[in-house]
Structure formats: C-alpha cells, structure tokens
Chain A
Amino acid sequence: MLNYILRRILYAFPILVGVNLITFFLFFVVNTPDDMARMHLGMKHVTEEAIENWKQERGYDRPLLWNESASGSEKLTETLIISESLKLFRFDFGVADDGRNIGGDIKQRMGPSLAIAVPIFLIGLFTNITFAMLMVFFRATYLDLSGVVLTVVLMSISGLFYVIGGQFVVGKLMHLVPISGYEGGLGAFRFVILPVVIGVISGIGSGTRWYRTIFLEEMGKDYVRTARAKGLSEYRVLFHHVLRNAMIPILTGAVVVLPLLFMGSLITESFFGIPGLGSYTIEAINAQDFAIVRAMVFLGAVLYIIGLLLTDLSYTLVDPRVRLS
C-alpha cells in the first residue's frame, strides 16, 4: 500500500512539471516580463529605468531560458524558468502586485472558501442521492417522468440565474439574510446560508440525473434479480443492496472533487462577496495579476492530482475486488 502511494506521488511529479512548463510558457514567454511591467506601470510614458526597477523588485530581471552571462552550470540555473519553477515547487508563491504575500493570502482565504464549499458539497450530495433514490423507487411512473423533465429544466438554467434570482428573492424581497458579505466565527452563518442553499439548488439538476443513471444501471444487475427472487421488499432491495453497491461509483466520483473544494467557487464567492479563493482568483484575473493566477493554477493542479490519488485509494477501500498493482 505504502509502496503504491509512493509510486503514485512520483508519477505526479512529471505532471506538475508539465503544468509548470505550460504556465511558464503562458505567463513568461508569450507575455514577457517587459510586457507585464509596461502594462502595470501604464502603457505610455514608461521609462526603461522604471521597467528595470519593476523587474528587479520581483526578481524577473534574469533571462528567460538561458543565461549567457553566467558561467558553468549557472547558465542554466540562473534563469527565470528554473528560479520561478523552484519557488512554485517549494510553495513559495511570491508577492502579488499590491505587495501582499500570496502564500499568506491563500492560507487566510481558504477558510471562507471551505465554509461555503464543504456544506454545498455535503448537503448537495445528500439531496441529490435522496432525490435520485426516490425517482428510482417510483421508476416508470409519472412521478419519475416529471422528475426527469424537472432535472433537465433545472440543468438548462445558467448558474448565474440561480445566484441572481436567489439574491433577489431571498435577500431583496424577503429581507431574510444579507445579500452579500462575510464575517469570521459564528457570525458567518448568516452570510453562508444563502450561498449554500443556492449552490445546492443549482447542482440538483445534473447531480440527481447522474445518480439516477448510476442507480438504474445497478438495478439491471443480477444480484438485484436474486434479491427480488428471495422475496425481499422493494425498499430493502433499494436501500440495502443497490445503495451499497452504488456507493463505489458515487464515492469515487465524489472523492476526486474533494481536494478541489479548497479552490472555492468562482461565481458564488464573487456574487456574495465572500473573501475566499474563488473571488481571489477572479480579482486577480480582472487586475491581470499574473503572479496570483500562476499560483492558483499550480495549486489547482496539485489538488487535482491529490484527488486522483485519493480516488484510486478509495477504490480499494470500498471495493475489495480491486487490487493495487
């Protein structure tokens, strides 16, 4: 087991290198540090001196790929690609354009992100599975059919409308909760509840449909027929046999997104003014702060790879037939 985990972590390394190369290409080769400096200092009236200063402050004054002026192996190492990549791999994200430490910001903003994303994930999972079970229980009746139609309708509405509509109805018409904002500690509940409810509702359409297909696939299997032949009630078949077997695809589907919960949700957070990582990313994109975007890309990739690893491990935990090799 340990052996397997170690090997998987080693496999992850080349992928991270690849991610790093892609981001380096996008952020340093296509947009050279000179371009970045010019953009931040204002397109016109920029002196060479100001650009050099800007680059020096951030350590961008080294050559990109090959340092002619250095000697020996430093020709390779004293370059932007090596120094910037090494920093990322040490999770040292540097400073943002406004001078704040990106690593510190990320740590601070993870809390609010999780306060929104974890409840949405858990409540959403529970709601969707419950609805899907109900639809399967009443399958091939009008209840099931109208449920299917309803899920398609819910799926066809853009996520933006859920947020805008929810804010309007609950926040503005009914004055139940504040429309946006956040505070730490227990006071957060007031601010978290609306985004969570909206997040769950907007996920019901696709989620329920997905779980319904999984359950229906399980329903067609032989053990279900055996259970029915034994004379078990439909309720027992569904909850004791089908649900337990369906846990394998459900669990593996859920585990892969688990680490990505840290990244937060872009739309929910920025609409509700939650100071999490999602709104951090959007702000960085709008301010064209490349250092933050690059840090978030790398963080996202690391979390995704952890998700893949967890998925494989969870397979072995829930399904004894799977052997790690």
Chain B
Amino acid sequence: MSELYAWLGGKPLFLWTDMLIWLLVAVIVLGVSYTRRRPHLLEPWHRVAKSRLAMGSLVVLLVYVVIGLLDSLHYRPALEQSDQSEEVHYAVEALTALDWMVGGLRESGEKSYSAPLATHLYVREMVGESGGEVRRDYPRLKSGGAHLQNPQQRAADLVENSIVGGAKGLLLWLGIALLLVLLLTRKRQQISPRRWVVEVARGETATPWRTILLVTAVVSLLLMAAIQVGVKYHILGTDKVGQDVFYQAVKSIRTGLVIGTLTTLIMLPFAILLGIMAGYFRGWIDDMIQYTYTTLNSIPGVLLIAAAILMIHVYIDTNAALFETTEERADLRLLFLCIILGVTSWTGLCRLLRGETLKLREMDYITAAHAFGVKNIRIIIRHILPNVMHVVLISVVLDFSGLVLAEAVLSYVGVGVDPTMYSWGNMINGARLEMAREPVVWWTLLASFLFMFTMVLAANLFSDVVREAFDPRVHKGE
C-alpha cells in the first residue's frame, strides 16, 4: 500500500465530511435509480424537468457540485526526500483533487493586496533602483502578468487570452452538445439528429434543451476563459496576505455545499423518526416529543450554536494530539457545526411531519391496515413514510440556501467554520473593514458576493419549482 502511495506521490486523507458527502452522493444515486422505475414517483420530476427556470439553475448548481466534489478528495502530497532514507514523509497540509487540477492558482502568492488583473501591487513599497537609489513605488507582481515584458501590453494580452479561453470553452460546449445529441437521439429512434437539433433551436422540445444548452454555453465559456486568464493573472486580485481571491472563492464552494447538504442529512433521521412517532402514536410520546422541540426551539439558535462551538473549542484545544493535519481539525469543527445547525433546524420539519402524520393516520387505508392486524412499525414504513416524503423533500430543498447564508452570518459572529478553512463567511469577515480603507479594496467582497449569490439564487429558483411540483395542493385537479 505504501508503495502505491509513494508511486502516486500522495496519501489519501479521509475526512469525516468527505466520507459523508460521498455517502450522500451514493444515496442520491440509489434514490435516482429507485425513482426511475416508478412512474408515480417520477411524475413530479417530469414537471420539474419541463421548467426552463429549474433546468437552467440546475446546470449552474451542477457545476458547483462538481467543483465541490472534486474538492472533497483530499490527499497529503509526499514531501521531497532530503536524505537517502526509504521512508516517505507526507505534508501536513492536505490538498484536494481540485488543487491538483488548478495547481498554478494555489501557488501564485503575492506580498499583499493587488487589484483584479493587475500587474502591480496595490500598495507602495520600497523599490531598489539599479543605480542604488531607493524610492516608494508599486512593485511588479510575482505571478500576476509576470510573463509580460512590458506592462503596457496587458490589455492586448488579456484580450488574446480571453479569446483563446473562450474558444476552448466553445469547443468544450460543442463536445457536450454533440454528446447530448448522440445520446438522446439514439434512445428515441423515431427522430433524426438533424430534426432534433432544429426542434431544440426553436425551443419546441418538452424538456427545455435550448435553455440547458444556452446556460451550459455561458458557463463553459466563463469557466475556460477564467482558467486561461487565471493561470497568468489574478482574476479577482489578491487579499491582504497576497493570496489569490479567485482561488479562495472557488475553494469556499465546498464549505457552502457541505453546510447546505450535510446539515439536513444529519438532522433528517431524527426529524422523520420523531415527527412520525409523535403524529402516529400521540399520547405521552407526542407530549414528550413536542416538549423536546419546543424547548430546543425556544433557545435562540445563534446562542445555542455559539455555546456548542465554544464547547468544541475547548475539546479541540485539550485534545490537540488527535489531529495530524490542520485540515482534520477544521473538518471536525465543520462537521460539528453541521450537527449543531441540524439540532437547531430539525424542529420545523419535525412539526410539519407530525401534522401530516396526524392527518394521514385517520385515512381509510390506515384503518384497513389496522383491521388486518398489520404491525405499527410496518404501517409507518409502508403507508405513512412514503406519503410524507414530499414534505421531507420540499423542506430539504428549501433549507439549502438558508443554511448557506447562515454560514456567512455565523462566521461573522465568530462561531462559524474554522478560521483556517476557506469559506465565503470567512472571506466577508476578513474583508469587511476593507471598504473603509483608503483606497478601497472591494474585490474580496465582490468575489464572495458573486459566488455566493449565484449559488443561492440558483438553489432558490430550483427549490421554488421543486416545491410547486411536489405540492399536492397545486395539482389537485390533475
């Protein structure tokens, strides 16, 4: 095994949140394959698939998810061997598959602030002239535009690089589109590829392929252009310690996704179990469960989170030996934040499920099942659970964007993710005083705003359509 790692040049690092994320992916894959074979479950999804808004935002969300997943494969790179010993040492700092792919971005550090696409530092420094004179000037950046002989060529170089990047993006998009045409027309043989392309162009297909392809085109153009230019410049500038802001914003995607999804994954079993139990058994069980969630609900959420995070602080400080890398320590705190956010947010879903179960248990088919002597546990699993799943799904999708936004606020309060972890909240928190600075440093805030806003907006638009598609009240007549 260790030889394999040595050959690969790194040793995988299994973080808790990584494993849970991949578990979630597995659950979703299983869920999709289960749903595909059942027309009655598939029906609301067909409604979602017909919505241009939902499909467009889904493409954006998928790009975020792919980046987040790539960022969830951690490894510790092997250190270069200084002596002749056989043993390979691994770095304390863990990297991810994403870091490996965008290597140039991570290593290009500057001294301090530099504006987006700049070739010079944003702050004056003592620069030694060749004649021995020393004066204060804006020094050239170490990596931003360092390939240029003369900084005045910057504009031409930028245009050239964006065109090259755009062309790459176009090629990527053409590849995707071609693949789609082949896949979709092979399945339905009554339609020729040519006819299909015409239909898509006119926007006549049932699934809004035109919208999907348009959004894909925009995203792939932007992505490839950003990569092309990003290797040579700092697209969104650098922060106070000279780190590339674009890189930080991209790395923060994973944190946002983890908080938005794992929190619900962790709270879901409790909410479902307790909610259904309270509604189904009623009596003292109901009283107990209601008491529990009213008590938890009455504590202000931020304070409960603060108290719990202060607690994990003490634990991490006293057990520092348990964590080999900083990533592991930050990861534990992230997981704990998800758990405690889950504890504060499961009550809403629990109450909804209780109400829904109270209604369902009076239904005729439940009475019939009782009359046949079906056991309670079986009734719950076979008759109640499938009929409340739409409530669960709607609330999971709706909660996502709220949790991503909550992360930023919690980081500001100082009880969010670990300060060493990349997150939009930490970026905003670090940069909030920069607006009061002279001259203003605006790019860190802009970067976190753009990345966060795009993801939350896409999630909100998508969840709206999902909620409408699954809400039985809306489709009563159909």
Q: Which of B18-26, B275-283, B358-366, B450-458 contacts A (4 or more CB under 8 A)?
A: B450-458
Q: A160-B412, A263-B300 are in contact. Are A18 and B460 (CB under 8 A)?
A: no
**A156 lies within 8 A of B460 (CB):** yes
Q: Do A296 and B300 touch (CB < 8 A)?
A: yes
- Distance between Cα atoms of A288 and B309 in the complex (Å): 11
Minimum CB–CB distance from A34 to chain B (whole Å) comes to: 11
B445 contacts partner chain A, Cβ-Cβ < 8 Å: yes
CB distance from B266 to the nearest CB of A (A): 19
Closest B residue to A31 by beta carbon equals B314
- Whether the Cβ atoms of B302 and A293 lie closer than 8 Å is no
Among A152, A168, A301, contact of B435 (Cβ-Cβ < 8 Å):
A168
Bound-state CA distance A296–B297 (Å) is: 15
Q: For the complex, is B299 an interface residue (Cβ under 8 Å from A)?
A: yes
Q: Does A208 contact B (CB under 8 A)?
A: no
B420 interface hit (Cβ, 8 Å) = no
Q: Knowing A31-B314, A266-B413 touch, does A164 contact B295 (C-beta < 8 A)?
A: no
Q: Does B294 reach chain A (CB closer than 8 Å)?
A: yes
Select the stretch in A20-28, A64-72, A78-86, A231-239 that faces chain B.
A20-28
Q: Quick one: given A158-B409, A172-B435, A286-B414, are A300 and B460 in contact (CB under 8 Å)?
A: no
B314 in complex: contacting residue of A14, A35, A160, A172, CB < 8 Å? A35
Q: Which residues of B contact A153 (CB under 8 A)?
A: 457
- Most chain A CB neighbours (cut-off 10 Å) among B294, B303, B414, B464: B303
B56 CB, min distance to chain A CBs, angstroms: 13
From residue A276, how far is it (CB to closest CB) to chain B in Å? 14
Q: With a CB–CB cut-off of 8 A, which chain A residues contact B298?
A: 15, 19, 300-301, 304-305
> In the complex, which of the residues A158, A288, A308 contacts B408, with contact meaning CB atoms closer than 8 Å?
A158
Q: Is the CB of B457 within 8 A of A152?
A: yes
- Give A219 to B181 CA distance when docked, in angstroms: 45
Q: CB < 8 Å: which of A15, A22, A164, A263 contacts B291?
A: A15
> Which chain A residues in 8-46 approach chain B with CB under 8 Å?
14-15, 18-19, 22-23, 26-27, 30-31, 35, 39
Distance in angstroms between the alpha carbons of A272 and B311 in the assembled complex: 29
Contact residues of B between 299 and 314, Cβ < 8 Å to A = 299-300, 302-304, 306-308, 310-311, 314
Please report which residues of chain A, range 290-325, place their CB below 8 angstroms from some CB of chain B when the two chains form the complex: 290, 293, 296-297, 300-301, 304-305, 308
**A157 is an interface residue with CB less than 8 A from chain B:** yes
- Chain B 443-467 near chain A by CB (<8 Å), digits 1 or 0: 0010001001100110011001000
Partner of A164, one of B296, B299, B432: B432
In the complex, whether B436 has a CB less than 8 A from a CB of chain A is yes
Which B residues are CB-close (under 8 A) to A113? none
What is the CB-to-nearest-CB distance from A105 to chain B, in angstroms, rounded to a whole number? 16
- CB-defined contacts of A18 to chain B, threshold 8 Å: 291-292, 295
Check B401 for interface membership: any CB of A closer than 8 A: yes
A102 → chain B, closest Cβ, in Å?
14
B428 touches A (CB below 8 Å): yes
Interfacial chain A residues near B177, Cβ < 8 Å = none
B245 on the interface (CB 8 Å rule)? no
The answer to whether residues A156 and B311 also contact, given A285-B306, A285-B413 and a CB cut-off of 8 A, is no
* Chain B residues, CB < 8 A from A155: 401, 460
In the bound complex, what is the Cα–Cα distance between A164 and B449 (angstroms)?
A: 11
Neighbouring A residues of B303 by C-beta, 8 Å: 281, 293, 296-297, 300
**Contact residues in B for A111 (Cβ distance below 8 Å):** none
A144 CB to nearest chain B CB (Å): 15
What is the CA–CA distance of A282 and B303 in the complex, to the nearest angstrom? 9
Q: Say yes or no: is B405 at the interface (Cβ < 8 Å to chain A).
A: yes
CB-CB under 8 A for A30 and B311, given A293-B303, A293-B306, A296-B303: yes
List chain B residues, Cβ under 8 A from A179: 436
Chain A residues lying within 8 Å of B291, measured Cβ to Cβ, are 14-15, 18
Bitwise interface map of B from 416 to 453 toward A, beta carbon under 8 Å scored 1, else 0? 00000000100010001001100010000100010011
Q: Are A158 and B452 also in contact (CB < 8 A) when A282-B413, A285-B413 are?
A: yes
Assembly CA distance A132 to B265 (angstroms): 34
Asked if A293 contacts B401 (CB within 8 A), the reply is: no
Docked Cα-Cα span, A18 to B303, in Å, equals 16
A128 adjacent to chain B (CB < 8 Å): no
Determine if B299 and A31 form an interchain contact, defined as CB atoms under 8 angstroms apart.
no
Whether B415 is near chain A, meaning CB under 8 Å from some CB there, is: yes
**B296 proximity list for chain A (CB < 8 A):** 22
Is A63 an interface residue, CB under 8 A from the partner? Answer: no
Enumerate chain B residues within 8 angstroms of A23, measured Cβ to Cβ: 299, 307
- Least CB separation from B407: chain A residue: A158
Contact of A300 among B300, B412, B449 (CB under 8 A): B300
Report the Cα distance A267→B406, complex, angstroms: 12
**For B298, B413, B414, B452, which residue has the most chain A Cβ atoms within 10 angstroms?**
B298
Minimum CB–CB distance from B291 to chain A (whole Å) comes to 7
Instruction: Report whether B294 and A15 are in contact in the complex, using a CB–CB cutoff of 8 Å.
Output: yes
Contacts A19-B298, A158-B428, A160-B432 given; does A152 touch B464 at CB 8 Å: yes
Please encode chain B, from 249 to 293, with 1 for each CB lying within 8 Å of some chain A CB and 0 for all others.
000000000000000000000000000000000000000000110
* Closest Cβ–Cβ distance, residue A39 to chain B (whole Å): 8
Tell me, rounded to whole Å, the shortest Cβ–Cβ distance linking A263 to chain B: 7
> Are B401 and A288 in contact, with the CB atoms below 8 A?
no
Once A160-B408, A267-B409, A285-B310 are accepted as A-B contacts, the answer to whether A297 and B304 lie under 8 Å apart by CB is yes
A119 at the interface (CB under 8 A from B): no
Interface residue A159 (Cβ < 8 Å from any Cβ of B)? yes
- Given A31-B310, A156-B457 in contact, is the A285-B414 Cβ separation under 8 Å? yes
Q: Is the CB of A22 within 8 A of B435?
A: no
Which residues of B from 307 to 361 have beta carbons under 8 Å from A?
Answer: 307-308, 310-311, 314
The answer to whether residues A159 and B409 also contact, given A15-B295, A18-B295, A285-B414 and a CB cut-off of 8 A, is: yes
* Minimum CB–CB distance for B157 against chain A, Å: 32
A266–B314 contact, CB under 8 A? no
A142: Cβ under 8 A from any B Cβ: no
CA gap between A114 and B414 in the complex, in Å = 24
Inter-chain contacts of B310 with A (CB < 8 A): 31, 285, 288, 290, 293
Bound CA–CA A168/B436 (angstroms): 8
Question: CA A305 – CA B298 in complex, angstroms?
Answer: 7
Q: A14-B291, A19-B299, A300-B303 are in contact. List 4 more A-B contacts (CB 8 A).
A: A18-B292, A157-B453, A158-B452, A179-B436
25 of the cross-chain contacts (CB-CB < 8 Å) are: A14-B291, A15-B298, A31-B310, A31-B314, A152-B457, A153-B457, A156-B453, A158-B428, A158-B453, A160-B408, A160-B432, A161-B445, A164-B432, A164-B435, A167-B435, A168-B435, A266-B302, A282-B414, A285-B414, A286-B414, A293-B303, A296-B303, A300-B300, A304-B297, A304-B300
Binding site for A on B (CB under 8 A): 291-292, 294-300, 302-304, 306-308, 310-311, 314, 401, 405, 408-409, 412-415, 424, 428, 432, 435-436, 440, 445, 449, 452-453, 456-457, 460-461, 464
Q: Which residues of A are interface residues toward B (Cβ below 8 A)? A: 14-15, 18-19, 22-23, 26-27, 30-31, 35, 39, 152-153, 155-161, 164, 167-168, 172, 179, 260, 263, 266-267, 271, 281-282, 285-286, 288, 290, 293, 296-297, 300-301, 304-305, 308
